[in-house]
Structure formats: structure tokens, C-alpha cells
Structure 1
Amino acid sequence: MAVNQAYQTYQNNSVNTASPGELTLMLYNGCLKFIKYAKTGIENNNYEMKNTNIQKAQKIIQELMITLDQETDIAKQVMPLYDYINRRLMDGNVDNSLDALEEAHVLVTEFRDTWKEVIQQTRQKQYGQGVNR
């Protein structure tokens, strides 16, 4: 019991102390986890598990859509991709389609990996500038 409480405290602290970039990375990772669980649900004919986890993944994609700064040029390119991922998640749910979920998984993985690279480059610039001062 104490281990679970310690882990929950750690998770809460991780979220509370994370930068906006790290929070976005956490959202991508969570979305990937939920898609994986949904695929397992389909494979095991556990449709409640599938549905619950697809809905969680969709909520994350919708949150990413809502928080996207519509004034930027990149938003005009990213928003249709988020919308497409959301539609593939819906297809996976309605049709029990592993292919649709796999396509969504691949796209979210690409976003996550790109975002990870952006965070790393940003950190390198910050630490590099701090050293040269």
C-alpha cells in the first residue's frame, strides 16, 4: 500500500514540476499507452477495455488540439493530422480495427519522437548559452 502511495506522490510531483514541453511529451506517451491497451482489448475480445482506452487516447488528442496555438503556421499543418488521428481512433473503436489503431499509434509515435527531439535541442541551447555567459 505504501509503495502505491509513494508512486502516486512521485507521479503527481512529476506532473506538477514538469515544463510545458515535458507535459506535452507525457501526453503523447499516455496516448501511446492507451492505444496499446486498446489493441490488447481487441485482441482479447475485451471490448470494454478497448473502448475505455480509445476514449482516453481520444481525450488526449482532443486536449492537444484545444491547446494548439491556432495563430502559428505549424498549427495549420498539425491540426489536420490530429484530426486524422482522432478519426482513426474512432474507426478503431467502431470497427474493432487493429489497422486503424496501428496507424494512429505510428502517427502519435512520430509526433512524440519529434517532440522529444525539440526538447533535447532546446535544452542544449539553454545549457550551451548558460555556459558561455
Structure 2
Amino acid sequence: MLTGTPHQQNAALNQYRNTAVQTAAPEKLLLMLYDGAIRFLQQAIKAIESKKPNEAHQNIVKAQNIIVELTVTLNMDYPISHNLKSLYDFFFQHLVQANIKKDAKMIEDIVELLSDLRKTWEEAARIAKSQSHSGGAAGV
């Protein structure tokens, strides 16, 4: 349990979050970005359902900012990065339209796609970690 004023508690929580981000492995940071985008979009859906358009807008924009971060950090030396860039561009544009229309279903579609991608990255990180612990991939 945190002690102190609410402001002090908030400052301590922000410091903890900043430290967690700064010390996270790249694969963990990627998953954290996906988690954040998904969380903001779920909050946007709830805000739309609660007839709170400004709150929905703010959460959609936060998710879009994460998608921009995912896009600009792609290493374009890999062919898959071009596919991911196209996908991220689609997500961003779809969310622009969802924000204009305040369409929860459009946001749900992106949440589903982001969740699938997150699971894929999580599995890839798990496989890469297990291969590095076993001295590399068998047969490669």
C-alpha cells in the first residue's frame, strides 16, 4: 500500500512505470506497447457506449500514438516489416474513421487484430528465448 498524498502516490507510480519501460527487454517493450493500445481502445469502446465522445477520442488518439510508435520503430531491412507497416497504416486509418464515427465495432475489429498480433509476438519471443537457451534452433 502506498503512503503519502495522492499526488505523491501518483508520482511514485509514474516513476515505477518509467523504470519498468526503461529496463524492459525489447520483446517485453513491444508487448507492453500492444497491451497499451489494446487497453486504450477498450477504454474508448466503453466511453462510446457511455456516450462520452471526448473520452473516447482521447483514448483512440493514445492508441494511435502507440501505433505510430510501432510504425516508426520498424526495422525496414526485413521484408516482414513492410507488411507490418501496411498493417499499422491500416490500423491507424481505420481508427481515424472509427473516431470520426464513434463506431465501437470498428474499434473492436482493431482490438481483435492487435490481440492476434500480440499473441504472435509473444509466441515468437517465447520461441526465440527457448532457442537461445538451448544453443540455437535445431536443424538451422
The normalised TM-score by structure 1 is 0.89
* Alignment-mate amino acid for residue 42 of structure 1: I
Shift of 1:6: 4.7
Provide structure 2 residue ranges, at least 5 long, that are not aligned to the other structure.
Answer: 4-8
User: Which of 41, 44, 52 pairs up with 2:50?
Assistant: 44
Decide which structure has greater helix share: 1
Counterpart-to-counterpart distance in 1, 2:27 and 2:87: 19
Counterpart-to-counterpart distance in 2, 1:9 and 1:128: 36
User: Which of 117, 120, 131 pairs up with 1:125?
Assistant: 131
User: Which of 76, 80, 83 pairs up with 2:82?
Assistant: 76
- Percent identical residues: 32
Q: Note the 1:1-133 alignment, pairs <5 A.
A: 2=3, 4-129=10-135
Counterpart-to-counterpart distance in 1, 2:82 and 2:125: 21
Number of residue equivalences = 130
Contact 1:88/1:103 (8 A) holds in 2 = no
* Alignment-mate amino acid for residue 24 of structure 1: L
Provide structure 1 residue ranges, at least 5 long, that are not aligned to the other structure.
Answer: none
Shift of 1:5: 5.0
Counterpart-to-counterpart distance in 2, 1:6 and 1:86: 32
Q: CA RMSD in A?
A: 1.7
Cα offsets for 1:32-69 (capped at 9, x unmatched): 00000000110001011100000000000011111111
